[in-house]
Amino acid sequence: MGDRAKNKGRMAIYTMAGFYLIYMSTRIFKGISQSSGGEKIVLILAMVLFAVIGAGLMIWATKKGYELVKQDKEALELSKKIKEENENQTVLDKEKLNETKK
């Protein structure tokens, strides 16, 4: 498995981790009503922290993953273009060779 594939997989895992942090934030929000005092403050801080980090992680990983896919697509298109140019050049070389033989 190449580095590019590993990076794409890593970005997918980061996106899932961000989603999980947001999920945990919603679970904490549902449980806040059962707590009181200092525990409530800690839960609110954890909830906000999980939500912010989770959203940031999801956005960053999705953006980075999209960039990797876009780069792969551009590299594939460039490869096809170079292959076509090489084929065209080979045809021209054969034609020149045939002309010189005449």
Distance CA 94, CA 98 (A): 6
Tell me what pLDDT residue 37 has: 84
pLDDT in tens, 92-101: 666 666 666 6
pLDDT in tens, 23-68: 999 999 998 888 888 899 999 999 999 999 999 999 999 999 999 8
Residues near 29 by beta carbon (within 8 Å), at least 6 away in sequence: 47
